[in-house]
A and B are shown apart, each in its own frame.
Chain A
Amino acid sequence: MNARNLKLLITIFCIVLLSGCETATVQAWQRGKLSRTDMAWQADPMTSAYRDHVYTSKEGASGGIGTGGGGCGCY
């Protein structure tokens, strides 16, 4: 990774990190919708794992979104 890309990424990361600082208080009894399965990071973990496996095998990029990458011959 060159220095320009690294700076850009760190800047984006910091902006996103700070973007949630204004969050209002959400009480426990207000979290019903957040705990719905369709609000989970992976609504169907097994199907997501399968899809990520296919993408990792067929694309040049891997890692990050619900996948570990590696452990295979897929480069």
Chain B
Amino acid sequence: MKNNKRNPGSLVALTGAALALPAIAQMAQAAEMPTKTELGYRYSGYQEEDLDKGVVLTGSNERYDIKTHQFRLVAPVGEQTALSMDAMFETMTGASAMSVVAFPGGDSMLVMTGASIQEERTDISAELRRQGDQGSKAVALGYSIEDDYEAVNGGLDVERNSADRLTTWSSGIGFSYDQLNPIQQANINRIKSEDRWYYNGYVARAKVHSPVWQSQVGLYLGLYDGYLDDPYRSRDFRPNKRQQFALVTRSRYYFSKLKAAIHCDYRFYNDDWGIDAHTMEVAWHQSLSEFFRVTPILRYYSQSQADFYVDNDSGLREGEQSSDYRLSSYGAFAYGLGVSYSDANYSFTFYAEHYDSSADYALTSVSKANPFLVDYTSFTTGIDYRF
């Protein structure tokens, strides 16, 4: 951990401490026994657009700049067992919001932290999967650490194929135990240490419909229990439980004449904080030759606001409340383009994406738009080696 200037607006509150937590129960990814050992590396850059200086009351208008290194090893261990290991190292700089201040007339301004933060995070996980005649079963463990945050997680999942191997049922359960130890600052009364548990599970069915079409549908449940406030915001009081529900459908169709595959994903999300969200993504994987492929991606996201979302922070208000933009009502479009080369031993990949969010994109009506939504540009490049 390196802190050029330790700042109360820790990045943990916005960037999260785990890289999609492979150990937590996930929708099945059609696990197959690897025949070769594969090593993968990805480098990603993430840059949020700076805030307009006119909306920042104090602090920096520079938002996050994040560099990420990912490593992956997938290898057969014996004839029926596969091991996969993931590691991720992340370096973050930038400022985060501490408070939203409302002025007479309705305008709001942000109290931001300073910008000179540098923080690092490490995340590791491993999965052992046993393949059988009728399916597979796997166990996974993960660990994540940064200066003010530590988490362990684990999961189990089972897959079963039908006799004709056209249908695969899968289910999984997972947990995470997270401990927060916020950085203290003079004259600010902040919690010393808190923790929370997260439990989740899913059941999914994948179906082969034809030689060129397969789909998957799944139900996903999650439950948070414990401290769920953002300790770095001035007035952030959230319920200490959160129940999540998601319905996910995915479809893959191959156009033989075009040498292209279309991916269509949809997720409906609902939680007992009052947020409903719709996520739709379409990706077109166009093969240009035996080795080269180009993939444009369009993603749309919309959510309603949480029951306790407030558009400004006030010391006069009692009860549950948060001005976090992620609890407001808004929508977002993400536009991405990927290019890849892949032969028997090597793959090279590059992907770039721009994310544009706005209250105008929301499916639900927005009584007052949050002016501090995030727009960002990211890219990922990497290599895979199989031997």
Contacts and interface: CB of A to CB of B under 8 A. Distances in A.
Interface string A13-44: 10011001001111010111110111111111
B164 A64 contact: no
Interface string A35-75: 01111111111110111111111111111111111111111
Given A57-B15, A61-B303, A68 B24 contact: yes
B224 A54 contact: no
Contacts of B215: 16, 20
Given A16-B249, A31-B211, A41-B216, A50 B25 contact: no
Contacts of B295: 38, 43
Contact of B19 (A9, A53, A75): A53
A57 B90 CA distance: 14
Dominant SS at the A interface?
A: loop
A10 to B, nearest CB: 9
B303 A59 contact: yes
Given A50-B44, A61-B279, A38 B293 contact: yes
Given A44-B338, A65-B265, A70 B279 contact: no
A71 B268 CA distance: 21
A9 B219 CA distance: 9
A40 B380 CA distance: 19
A12 interface: yes
| B contact face: mostly helix, strand, loop, or mixed | strand
B200 interface: yes
B166 interface: yes
A1 interface: yes
Contact of A50 (B70, B228, B242, B272): B70
Interface string B155-182: 1000000001111000000101010100
A54 to B, nearest CB: 7
Given A33-B211, A55-B301, A60 B164 contact: no
Contacts of B224: 70
Contacts of A53: 16, 18-20
Given A49-B22, A61-B275, A66-B29, A44 B212 contact: no
Interface stretch (B51-59, B111-119, B201-209): B201-209
B60 to A, nearest CB: 19
B285 A13 contact: no
Given A17-B217, A40-B29, A61-B303, A67 B20 contact: yes
Nearest to B12: A73
Given A47-B338, A50-B44, A53-B16, A64 B220 contact: yes
Interface string B217-244: 1111010100010100000001000111
B20 A30 contact: no
15 contacts: A9-B268, A33-B256, A38-B287, A40-B29, A57-B14, A60-B326, A61-B279, A63-B222, A65-B281, A68-B22, A70-B178, A71-B21, A71-B24, A73-B17, A74-B14
Interface of B: 12-30, 40, 42, 44, 46, 68, 70, 72, 86, 142, 144, 149, 151, 153, 155, 164-167, 174, 176, 178, 180, 198, 200, 202, 205-212, 214-220, 222, 224, 228, 230, 238, 242-250, 252, 254, 256, 261, 263, 265, 267-272, 275-277, 279, 281, 283, 285, 287, 293, 295, 301, 303, 306, 324, 326-327, 332, 338, 340, 342, 349, 351, 353, 355, 374, 376, 378, 380, 382
Interface of A: 1, 5, 9, 12-13, 16-17, 20, 23-26, 28, 30-34, 36-47, 49-75
The 5 closest A-B pairs by CB, nearest first: A68-B24, A72-B16, A70-B198, A64-B246, A61-B277
